[in-house]
Structure formats: structure tokens, C-alpha cells
Structure 1
Amino acid sequence: MTDRKTPRAIRMAQPLARDVAEEIAKLHGVCIRPVALRRLDMTTGKSEVVDVPCGSPLESKCPPCAKRNRQLRMAQCREGWHLDEEPIITPDEPTDGQRWLVEFRADMQAKRDEEAKAGGDTSDLDAVLTGLDIEINEAGMRGNVVGRTSSKRVRSTKRRQDAPDLPKRKMASTTLGRTFEAADGRTYRPSLFVTLTLPSYGKVLNGAPIDPDAYDYVRAARDALHFSKLVDRFVQNLRRVAGYDVQYFATVEPQKRLAPHLHMAIRGTSPRAEMKQIAAATYHQVWWPQADEARFEGEHLPVWNDGTGYADPDTGEVLPTWDEALDQLGDEPMHMIRFGDQVDVKGVLAGSPDADQCIRYLSKYLTKSLGETLDGQAQREHAARFVDALRYEPCSPTCPNWLRYGVQPKNAKPGMVPGCCRSKAHKPEHLGYAGRRVLVSRKWSNKTLAEHKQDRRTWVLEALGQADEPTAPHRYVWQPVRPGDPDVAPIGVRLLRSIAERQRWRAHLRRLEELSANPQAA
């Protein structure tokens, strides 16, 4: 009997035209999730809808944008790793608008001070000053005019007795490492590639615990939550010991066992033994209330009362606020995180194959979320247990999970439920790590990521023979496009337009390459 497909089966087997368009867009490097924005030209009055790339760094959402972001990060890492001249960062001159904002804030501050001396209510003026500080930052100025305005709890900085001491060298005002001269007279300026990991929580095989019941999931979850703070401490200790303003480019990735670890390109070099000593001496203490024993769980949860906050549902006793809970802390922190014994330190020379390999390794997983590296049923079950351990761990002072342990979260509000925190630290794809995936020091390449992106744009426009003319800073006004706007074409049409434009660019670039290779062809 011949197996013949019905017309319906044949039709269902055909690919969707929209899916084909997306595949072609990916091949041509076109964003498959463009954001439609309306651009109003304040000079000519012309209004048009412009497709802006979504800019997602994750391949699962938009492969072309993720690939472009990875290439930008690789360029940023390469340009800053082996600098032989000090990066010069000169602040821009303030604009007239910035000067006016600061002068207006001075007037408001004077009125607030007069009102305070007279014993009046300053709440309205305080709100105005807070809004002005936000406006000052949005206008392109860093920091706060009056510095810190809130009191910060200070704890002793004395090192723990169980942590080794570190030497402290006199700081030199340089970001460049030492140079070495070889016997043949050549000068080398080596740098470092360092990998730091967390300690063991139990024996693992192929990324999953051999005995899940013996694996310390609670400690693993807390270490992941506070890993970014540990990295900050390492950089502080590194600069004290190195004696100069160490610059770095680092990425955070998951190990196969799902614990975060750090790859760091460091400008300059230090002895390997010293780097391992710094890692061993680095720790971070979390001075939070205890979160080991649950007081409220299930349906037995604190209730919200207007004016007082959350209270015990049985006794009506108001739970201690965040500040009151901190006042009751003892001499031991809730948690202390340290690096593990595995520290890898490698010397790297500029322009060497090792440098290129390290740069590729640094950016290897940037297009994937932490949870996208799961392989096999055992590892998926391990990830599920890890996420379950994270569910009720407090991730910040404002986390609703504090209610479970009898403490009101900072800035508590009605509707908070333990186990329902919206922070990305609790999302399965982040595996407890809520910090930035890429860590770049301020004086690394002397450019921001936006400036690296502009360099790429300038190169393309010059190759296409189009000048990237500077425009007035306030010439264009960008506005989001509302759903159903008649000026916005269907997504399929927008993709096809972008593909056609990208094809024209590439044809022009290929023609230019042919002319440069064979000038007589012109």
C-alpha cells in the first residue's frame, strides 16, 4: 500500500513564510525583534517611524543582536588589555542647561534651609530637591551635588582572625603594568588572565551532585546571591597589593555544577603566588538578620496593617523593621562568602594567540543566560533543586522573603508574599546571580560600550561613502509607538525592508573590496 500524503499534510509540512523571513534576517545580521520608535526632527518638523534593534545580549531572544553585542565586548576587551599609554579621561565642559539646573538647585536648597531654621515643614522642598538630583543625573552629570545625604551603617573593617593579612603597597597614579626587557633588547608588557571559582558544596559528577542529599544547596544559593560583592572585595584587595590602579575586564559565567565563577583579564602582571594569596585572603561578610529558621510559612503569614506595617497574625505583635533588626545583630554575620582553592593565573602577551584565545573565552557564554547551559536530566534536576533552595533566600534588604523569618523588609508595602520575589536573582535562568555579567573598570579602554558601538558605525558609514555628520544634541525627539499605530508596517514587511537594506550595504562593501584589490577595475 502506497503511503500518500493528503493535501492538508503537504501544506502543514511547508515552512511558514514569516519563519523563513526570520531565518534570512538572522543570516544577514538583521534584528528579528526591532523596536518601532517615532523620530521627530525639531529642525524640519518631519516625523517618521524608525526601527531600532532590540539590543538583546541573549541569543535565545535575538541572535543577530547577541552576536553584535559579543563582538563589541571582544573589541572592548582587546583595545584595553595591553595599553602602553595612560588613558586620558577629561570631563566635558558643563552646558548652559547643566549650569542652570545646579543654580536652581542652589536656590531650592537655600529655601529649604530657611524653612528648616524657622521650624516649618520641609517635606515638599525635600521632594523637589530629590527630583532635581534625578534631573541633574539625567542631564549628563554624575553623582550628587551635596554628596551622600543618607546615613550609612558602618561596621568595623578589622580583618577576621581566620583570614590571612595582605601587604599594602604605596599607590602609584598609573594604570599600566610593569615592563620587562628580554636579552635581545625587546620590551614586553605582560598582563594576566585569572579564573576564580567558589568552594565545593559536595562531590559532583558531570555537573550534578553524586549525593544530592549531602550537597549544601543553602550555602551554594547564598554564595551565588552575594558573588558580586566578593568580586568587588577581590578588586579592592588586588589594588592595595599591586600598588597601582589595576584595570580589568571580567565576565561571570556558570560552571558545569551551576556555581558562578569569574574570568578576569587584568592589565599588568603580579606574581602567581601573590594572586593566589589575594584570592585566599578575600572574603565578604553579609551583615543581615538570620534567615535559617522560618517563623511564618504556608498560609500562616504576617498580615499588613496600615500605619504599622506587618504583624504576627496570632498575637498582633508588629514585626521589627529592617533598621530595628539590624540594631539587634550580634557579632557574627549571617553569611560569609570566600573563593575556593582553585585559582588559575596565566600570563598573556599582547598580540599573541593566547591573548586572542582568552578574549574568545571571556565572551564565550555572553550570549547565553546562566540557565541555558544545562545538559542532561541529572543536571536539570540539580538546577531545579538549586532554584528551590533560592526560592526563600532573601536576595536584598527589600526582598519579601524576610517576612518568612519575622522581619519587615526595607520599605515594606502591602501585598508582599514570601517566595514571590520579582528580583532576577530568583528567576531560574539567573541561578541566584543578579549582578552584571560583564564587569569593566572605568579606565579600561578609555571608551564606553556606546563609544565602541559608535566606532563600528563610523567605520561602516565611511566604507559606504556616507559621512556621519554630527547633529545637534536636541534635534531629534524619540517617542514610543503605540500599538496599532497605522504608520507602523507589519513585522514581516519591516524585516524584509531591513534585509534589503543590509543586502545593499554588503553589495557595496564587496564592490569596494574588489576595487581596492584591483584598482584598474575602476
Structure 2
Amino acid sequence: MNPDFTRADRRAALDRAARLRQLPEADRDAIRLAQDPKFPRLLEQITATGGCSHPVHLSGSTATVDGTTGEILHHYDTRTEPGERLLVRCCNRRASICPACSRLHAGDTYHLVRAGLLGGKNVPAAVRHHPRLFVTLTAPSFGSVHRSSELCRPRRDGGTCDHGRPLGCGLVHAPDAPSVGQPLCPDCYDYTAHVLWHAHASKLWDRFVIDVRRRLASSVGLVQSRFARHARLSFARVAEYQRRAAVHVHAVVRLDGPTGPGDEPPAWGTAELLIDAVRASARRIMVRTRYSPAVGQLDLRWGAQIDARPLRTDGDGPDDDAVAAYVAKYVTKGASDTGAGTDHPLSTWVDIESAPVSEHTRALMRTCWRLGGVPEYTPLRLRAWTHTLGYRGHILTKSRAYSTTYAALRAQRAHHQGHTDIPDAVTERNWRYIGSGHTPGAALIAAGIGEDVADSRRLGLERKQEGEWCR
């Protein structure tokens, strides 16, 4: 026994151990990490990821060698790192999964959309004078649902549906009321059409864009096949789940010259002409599903609510920055944020029954799973997309010439942070995936760092708006 270790020391050690046992698991783990000699480096890694909630763990090395002399210019190996691993961002866009990475993705989306409106990022500033619209296209009605902020479904004559449920609702629901978006009668609601509309929504958008081009050409007497010689239609669109669990689309649509944003649109290309083409195409376009003995054949269209607003530089209309921020806000949201699905795929019927969703959403999931077993709908892979209620499109898509790309924005950020390639050098990389996520203590630290980054960004924006930048 160590003679310097007295009875009082033993009692103090036991007291410390007892206090640690009373702490939550995350606190105990954080204390353990803080006592590690390599904790400062771990803190640097977590800070470098911006407080990512679910970082990817990599093991390996990289070496940069002068291509002429063979001299090693730079060498890095994870064997010197805490746990012999390097943490990198998960880059998940959903705020419900990783708030830190979703904020970064939202920022990239904001600059991507804004560049297509005002220029920048290799897009000429002259695009702000091109005809530009902010367009909203909705899903059609699949049945009556409860609404908020006004008398829900007032009916003087009352009445009931074939299933004995009231056809109206005279209540005023709060916007966050659980009943908002839920069908008045689930048995009357057309769940099959809802799911199949989701599955074909991307095709509906593609046909809409093609038809807008055709209508623009026809309205000025051009042969439709020669439209590309006179003008180009560029867009960026984002999909959003409504409270009724149906997707609708917000899009920035711009008319350019034939070579893209650097080319002036033709003299006949006006915002009014573009609005007329958008409205006419949205009402006309239709996608017909495959015939199935179990379902029949459905004609799928856009909803009756169509909004097309011109974006002008004179301030008469929606603000360009506000539109970019609006799109960026919705690109970080998944189906789970509105209760219209989950962020993770569902692989069994049991997963559907246990999912934390409303009965309306669960009914859509069941329909999606059931239709996934219909042979005619096999190409739609509905069971694989049950968690998104059959919607298979990307949250944000854009035409090639609209503006910059996510890859270009990330490359610019890496260059700004000093991650640049050395001329005439050869880089050898040897990496492998060894895990992901945080221990409870590291997750607590990452959450704190993520909140600090968010607060710093918020304060910076407030100072910028108030014109109080420190010089």
C-alpha cells in the first residue's frame, strides 16, 4: 500500500467516485474526455466540424509529394490523433438530424439561389434585369382537410358523408393544432391518388418546364423546336411538405438569352409573357399513370392554386434576398418537420405502425407500402420511399445554367480555408471509414460548439442589418 495514500485520501476518492456515479452519462463521459491529454486536439476536431452532430470517423493518411524532386511536401497520419481517427462533417441537410451541417447547407443554398437572382459566383449581375418569377405550384385536392386561422369548413346545411361523418367543420383551429391538415373523413380521402401523385411529381415538373418553353415559342410565332436558338429557361425549385402531407413546389424561374445568364433575353421575353405561359402550362399539364387492375388509371395534375409573381429590381414585388432565404429555409426541412413522414427509410410493416406520425400520415405510409406490391408500380420503388410518402424527387433541383453548384461553393470554401492543391505535386491518399457519431460526452461538447456558431452567425447578421460592423 502506498504510505502517502491516507484514509482521508481514500474517503475523498470514494466520495468523488460516488459523485461521478450520480452524474448523467453525458457529463461523466465529458469529464473523462476532458482528462485525456489529447482533449485539446479532440476539441479542435469537433470545432473544425462546426459542432456536427453525427461526424464521420476516418482512419488513414495523406502525403503530398513534389512531382519533380520526390520531396515530401506534406504528410498527415491519423495515428497521432485522439482515438487514431479524424472527424469530418456528416453534411446532412436535415436540421432534425444535424443542425450544424443543415445551417451550412442552408447557407450554400441561399448563395446558390441568390446568385441566380442578383448575380455573383460567376453569374453576371445583369441577370437581375432578366424576366424572373417566383412560382408556387401545389398538389391537387385528395379530400377535404381541416384548415387553420379561419372558419375551417363552414356549411350551413350541415350534412354527412357516405360514412356518416360531418361534411363541414365550424371551428377556428390554431395553426399548430394537431387537427390541421387531417382529413374530415379518412374513408373519403383518396390516399391512392395522393401517393401516386407524389411518385409522379418530378415527372409532372419536367413536363411543366417543357410546356412552358413550348408556349413561349408559340406565343411569339416561333417553331417550338427552335426555341433554344432564341432563349433559355432557367430555374431553381424546392419541394415543401404541407400540413396535409402533400408536397408543393416553390421555384425561381428566369428567362435568359440562348447562351445562358450572360446573354440578354430576346425583346419579346417579358415577365408578363412568362407569367401567362407558366399559368397556362400549370393548368394544362397532365401525367397518366400506368393501368393497374387494382387501381385503374389516374390522370395527375397540379392543384388549382397557382401563384406566379414577378421579381423586379424596383422593389415592386418579393425581395430577392427574401426569396433566396425562403428557399434556403425549406431545403433543410425533411418530411418529419411537418409530421409528414420520417427522415429514415422504413423497411417493414412494423416500422410503419411504430413510426411517430399522425394517423393520416400513417395511412399514407400504409398505402405506399401496399401500392409498392402492385406489379405495375414496381419501377416507382414505393416501398423504398415509404418514409417520404412516395415522393422520390430531390428537395432542391435546378437547371444547369441557373447559377453555380454546391460542388463549386464547397470548393471555394475549401480554398478560403487554405485547402488548395499545390502545382506539380502528387497527393497520395489512403482513407477508410471506421465509424460515425459521438460518445455522449462528445455530443454534449459538439452541441455547445454548434450553438456558439449559430449565435455568432445570428449576431453577425444583426450587426450587418444595423450597419454596425466593427472596423
User: TM tier, shorter chain?
Assistant: 0.5 to 0.7
* Change in CA separation of 1:274 and 1:235 when aligned onto 2, cut-off 3 Å: closer
**Given that residues 26 and 63 in structure 1 are in contact (C-alpha distance below 8 angstroms), is that contact kept between their aligned partners in structure 2?**
no
Corresponding position of 2:330: 365
Which of the numbers 16, 22, 25 marks the counterpart of 1:11? 22
**Given that residues 368 and 383 in structure 2 are in contact (C-alpha distance below 8 angstroms), is that contact kept between their aligned partners in structure 1?**
no
Corresponding position of 1:290: 292
> 3-state SS of the aligned residue for 2:204?
helix
Give distance in 2, aligned partners of 1:280 and 1:215: 23
> 3-state SS of the aligned residue for 1:265?
strand
**Given that residues 89 and 101 in structure 2 are in contact (C-alpha distance below 8 angstroms), is that contact kept between their aligned partners in structure 1?**
yes
Which of the numbers 428, 434, 458 marks the counterpart of 1:476? 428
Q: Unaligned 5+ residue runs, structure 2?
A: 1-17, 34-41, 66-71, 79-85, 147-179, 218-230, 256-270, 341-354
How far apart are residue 197 of structure 1 and its match?
A: 0.7
Which of the numbers 52, 70, 82 marks the counterpart of 1:31? 52
Say whether 1:393 aligns with 2:371.
Answer: yes
**Given that residues 82 and 189 in structure 1 are in contact (C-alpha distance below 8 angstroms), is that contact kept between their aligned partners in structure 2?**
no
* Change in CA separation of 1:26 and 1:493 when aligned onto 2, cut-off 3 Å: closer
- Percent of aligned positions with the same letter in both sequences? 23
Give distance in 2, aligned partners of 1:216 and 1:371: 22
How far apart are residue 455 of structure 1 and its match?
A: 2.3
- Give runs of aligned pairs for residues 281-360 of structure 1, distance below 5 A: 281-286=284-289, 288-292=290-294, 334-350=297-313, 354-360=319-325
Corresponding position of 2:213: 239
Corresponding position of 1:64: 100
> 3-state SS of the aligned residue for 2:358?
helix
**Given that residues 87 and 443 in structure 1 are in contact (C-alpha distance below 8 angstroms), is that contact kept between their aligned partners in structure 2?**
no
Corresponding position of 1:41: 63
Give distance in 2, aligned partners of 1:48 and 1:489: 21
* Change in CA separation of 1:469 and 1:46 when aligned onto 2, cut-off 3 Å: closer
* Change in CA separation of 1:364 and 1:275 when aligned onto 2, cut-off 3 Å: same
How far apart are residue 81 of structure 1 and its match?
A: 2.2
Give distance in 2, aligned partners of 1:214 and 1:367: 33
Corresponding position of 2:140: 199
* Change in CA separation of 1:499 and 1:340 when aligned onto 2, cut-off 3 Å: closer
How far apart are residue 279 of structure 1 and its match?
A: 0.5
* Change in CA separation of 1:213 and 1:497 when aligned onto 2, cut-off 3 Å: closer
**Given that residues 195 and 390 in structure 2 are in contact (C-alpha distance below 8 angstroms), is that contact kept between their aligned partners in structure 1?**
yes
Q: What residue identity is the alignment partner of 1:262?
A: V
Q: What residue identity is the alignment partner of 1:253?
A: E
- Give runs of aligned pairs for residues 78-89 of structure 1, distance below 5 A: 78-83=114-119
Give distance in 2, aligned partners of 1:19 and 1:237: 58
Say whether 1:273 aligns with 2:294.
Answer: no
Q: What residue identity is the alignment partner of 2:244?
A: R
1:92-141 Cα shifts (integer Å, max 9, x gaps)? xxxxxxxxxxxxxxxxxxxxxxxxxxxxxxxxxxxxxxxxxxxxxxxxxx
Corresponding position of 1:264: 251
**Given that residues 249 and 439 in structure 1 are in contact (C-alpha distance below 8 angstroms), is that contact kept between their aligned partners in structure 2?**
yes
TM-score by length of 2: 0.60
Corresponding position of 1:381: 359
Give distance in 1, aligned partners of 2:47 and 2:183: 38
Corresponding position of 1:433: 391
> 3-state SS of the aligned residue for 2:329?
coil
> 3-state SS of the aligned residue for 1:72?
helix
Give distance in 2, aligned partners of 1:442 and 1:32: 32
**Given that residues 32 and 62 in structure 1 are in contact (C-alpha distance below 8 angstroms), is that contact kept between their aligned partners in structure 2?**
yes
> 3-state SS of the aligned residue for 1:246?
strand
**Given that residues 52 and 450 in structure 2 are in contact (C-alpha distance below 8 angstroms), is that contact kept between their aligned partners in structure 1?**
no
TM-score by length of 1: 0.55
Give distance in 1, aligned partners of 2:246 and 2:52: 32
> 3-state SS of the aligned residue for 1:68?
helix
Q: What residue identity is the alignment partner of 2:363?
A: R
Say whether 1:454 aligns with 2:411.
Answer: yes
How far apart are residue 280 of structure 1 and its match?
A: 0.8
Say whether 1:442 aligns with 2:400.
Answer: yes
> 3-state SS of the aligned residue for 1:247?
strand
Q: Unaligned 5+ residue runs, structure 1?
A: 1-6, 89-175, 180-187, 294-332, 395-400, 411-418
Give distance in 2, aligned partners of 1:220 and 1:502: 39
How far apart are residue 432 of structure 1 and its match?
A: 1.3
Q: What residue identity is the alignment partner of 1:237?
A: D
The alignment of Structure 1 onto Structure 2 pairs a total of residues equal to: 339
Give distance in 1, aligned partners of 2:440 and 2:137: 44
1:312-354 Cα shifts (integer Å, max 9, x gaps)? xxxxxxxxxxxxxxxxxxxxx8332111111011111259562
How far apart are residue 83 of structure 1 and its match?
A: 4.5
Q: What residue identity is the alignment partner of 1:437?
A: I
Give distance in 2, aligned partners of 1:501 and 1:52: 14
Which moves more between the two structures, 381-390 or 17-26?
17-26
Say whether 1:218 aligns with 2:192.
Answer: yes
1:430-488 Cα shifts (integer Å, max 9, x gaps)? 1211111101110111x2211112223434x3xxxx5845466861324214469xxx9
Q: What residue identity is the alignment partner of 2:214?
A: R
> 3-state SS of the aligned residue for 2:133?
strand
> 3-state SS of the aligned residue for 1:32?
coil
Q: What residue identity is the alignment partner of 1:450?
A: A
Give distance in 2, aligned partners of 1:73 and 1:453: 11
Which moves more between the two structures, 271-280 or 225-234?
271-280
**Given that residues 190 and 350 in structure 1 are in contact (C-alpha distance below 8 angstroms), is that contact kept between their aligned partners in structure 2?**
no
* Change in CA separation of 1:216 and 1:443 when aligned onto 2, cut-off 3 Å: same
How far apart are residue 379 of structure 1 and its match?
A: 7.7
How far apart are residue 55 of structure 1 and its match?
A: 0.5
Q: What residue identity is the alignment partner of 1:80?
A: G
Give the structure, 1 or 2, with the largest relative contact order (CA under 8 Å, sep 6 or more).
Answer: 2
**Given that residues 311 and 320 in structure 2 are in contact (C-alpha distance below 8 angstroms), is that contact kept between their aligned partners in structure 1?**
yes
> 3-state SS of the aligned residue for 1:475?
strand
Give distance in 1, aligned partners of 2:405 and 2:145: 40
Give distance in 2, aligned partners of 1:346 and 1:199: 20
1:337-379 Cα shifts (integer Å, max 9, x gaps)? 111111011111259562222222212222221132129x998
Give distance in 1, aligned partners of 2:202 and 2:246: 13
